[in-house]
């Protein structure tokens, strides 16, 4: 059988956990006049399912012939790519007759330097295309993944705000890491994004993961005890990428076995591979992007040798006061690296991240 789990980044997995209702809600809201979802910011840690959710929303809304989806990459061609895609839609819909580079757009000779002219006159080109599409009853959804603050993004967002103010049929869905989304919202030029709808992708609930594992493996002809099922579920801690990764490796491990009963030892057999790929594909980048003070905070958590750690203990290990600790506690919670776990306590949100931090601490000693 084909493995239904897909731990590859950027690809749509066959198993899409517990986000169908959220996908449907976003699409429903995008079709509602005046909805706060018209401008939405998806935030979540690496592997939380941002790209998958964005893809699901795009696929669902594309079924409506009045919606056009534009996917953009945040690079030097951001503005040019947007205008190119809008013009291609105008051509395909026969709203304009041709789109060769010699056409005059607002009297501009676009053959001279298409890239330069597009960036210089982006607002006019953007508005003209949207006015034509809006007049014909079309709506445009613009998707930008992996967002972070750049001059081009600021220019695009500022022009987008004007399009909204002019009541043109355009919506925006951007996805990024929590710290990058916060930086964009708090930029002095982009304060209007503070009013945008922010969708935080929190960990998946344990019950959904448990039921999904049971359904998928039962369909493949395997059985396991409640204890084994709960043990497997616990290894993911609700992390969307971990759910895909663990399921993928377990199925690859047992697929050629004649024994159709999955045991805890089967799961333990693939844990080293599972943890190694979590480290390589997610945690190395997460940890390297942390500030030195944030690293000291999580290192103190590891040094405490406790599953849930009191903030006071972290403060004692770091030799810092409550106010100092509170700042970094809040930052790491917002970045989805740790989570509150009872009054005054925190624990790691990501599965086995404490083991990765411990490994890095040992390596730093050499």
Domain with 26 in it: what CATH number?
3.40.50.300
- Domain end position, chosen among 239, 255, 286: 286
Same domain for 238 and 167: no
Give domain status of residue 1, yes or no. Answer: no
CATH of the domain at 317: 1.10.10.10
Residues paired with 141 in a beta bridge:
69, 171
Q: How many domains does the chain have?
A: 3
The model's pTM: 0.82
**DSSP type of residue 283:** I
Same domain for 219 and 314: no
Same domain for 110 and 233: no
Same domain for 214 and 344: no
Q: What is the pLDDT of residue 15?
A: 58
Give domain status of residue 156, yes or no. Answer: yes
Residue ranges of the chain whose pLDDT lies below 50: 99-102, 104, 106-112
- Domain end position, chosen among 227, 254, 286: 286
Same domain for 107 and 179: yes
Same domain for 232 and 164: no
Same domain for 303 and 165: no
Q: What is the pLDDT of residue 247?
A: 95
Same domain for 230 and 320: no
Q: What is the pLDDT of residue 364?
A: 87
Same domain for 226 and 134: no
- Domain end position, chosen among 230, 252, 286: 286
Q: What is the pLDDT of residue 116?
A: 63
Same domain for 260 and 125: no
Reference 40, options 21, 27, 56, 59; nearest CA is 27
Give domain status of residue 4, yes or no. Answer: no
Give domain status of residue 98, yes or no. Answer: yes
Give domain status of residue 2, yes or no. Answer: no
Q: What is the pLDDT of residue 284?
A: 96
Q: Are strands 139-144 and 170-176 parallel, antiparallel or unpaired?
A: parallel
Per the CB < 8 A criterion, the answer to whether 152 and 76 are in contact is: yes
Same domain for 193 and 275: no
Same domain for 346 and 256: no
Per the CB < 8 A criterion, the answer to whether 287 and 356 are in contact is: yes
Q: Tell me which residue range forms the domain holding 294.
A: 290-364
Residue 106 tokens read as 């607002």
Q: pLDDT tens, 243-266?
A: 999 999 999 999 888 899 999 999
Residue 174 tokens read as 């951007």
Burial 192-221 (b: 16+ CB within 10 A, else e): ebeebebbebebbeeeebbebbbebbeeee
């Amino acid at each position: 059988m084909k493995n239904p789990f897909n731990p590859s980044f950027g690809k749509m997995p066959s198993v899409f956990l517990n986000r169908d209702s959220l996908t449907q809600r976003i699409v429903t809201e995008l079709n509602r006049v005046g909805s706060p979802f018209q401008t939405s910011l998806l935030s979540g840690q690496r592997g939380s399912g941002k790209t998958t959710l964005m893809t699901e929303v795009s696929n669902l809304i594309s079924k409506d012939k009045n919606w056009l989806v534009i996917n953009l990459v945040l690079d030097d061609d951001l503005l040019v790519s947007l205008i190119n895609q809008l013009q291609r839609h105008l051509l395909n819909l026969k709203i304009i007759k041709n789109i060769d580079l010699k056409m005059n757009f607002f009297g501009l000779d676009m053959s001279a330097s298409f890239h330069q002219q597009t960036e210089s006159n982006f607002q006019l080109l953007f508005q003209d295309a949207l006015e034509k599409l809006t007049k014909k009853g079309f709506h445009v959804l613009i998707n930008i993944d992996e967002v972070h603050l750049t001059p081009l993004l600021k220019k695009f967002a500022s022009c987008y705000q004007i399009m909204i103010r002019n009541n043109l049929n355009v919506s925006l869905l951007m996805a990024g890491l929590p710290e990058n989304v916060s930086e964009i919202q708090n930029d002095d030029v982009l304060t209007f994004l503070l009013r945008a709808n922010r969708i935080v992708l929190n960990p998946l609930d344990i019950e959904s993961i448990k039921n999904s594992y049971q359904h998928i493996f039962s369909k493949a002809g395997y059985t396991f005890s409640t204890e084994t099922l709960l043990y497997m579920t616990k290894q993911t801690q609700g992390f969307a990428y971990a759910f895909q990764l663990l399921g993928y490796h377990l199925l690859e491990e047992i697929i050629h076995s004649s024994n159709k009963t999955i045991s805890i030892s089967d799961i333990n057999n693939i844990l080293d591979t599972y943890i190694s790929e979590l480290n390589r594909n997610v945690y190395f980048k997460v940890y390297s992007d942390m500030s030195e003070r944030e690293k000291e905070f999580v290192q103190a958590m590891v040094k405490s040798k406790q599953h849930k750690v009191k903030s006071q203990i972290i403060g004692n290990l770091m030799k810092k006061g409550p106010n100092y600790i509170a700042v970094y506690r809040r930052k790491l919670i917002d970045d989805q690296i740790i989570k509150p776990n009872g009054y005054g306590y925190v624990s790691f949100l990501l599965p086995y991240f404490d083991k990765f931090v411990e490994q890095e601490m040992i390596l730093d000693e050499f």
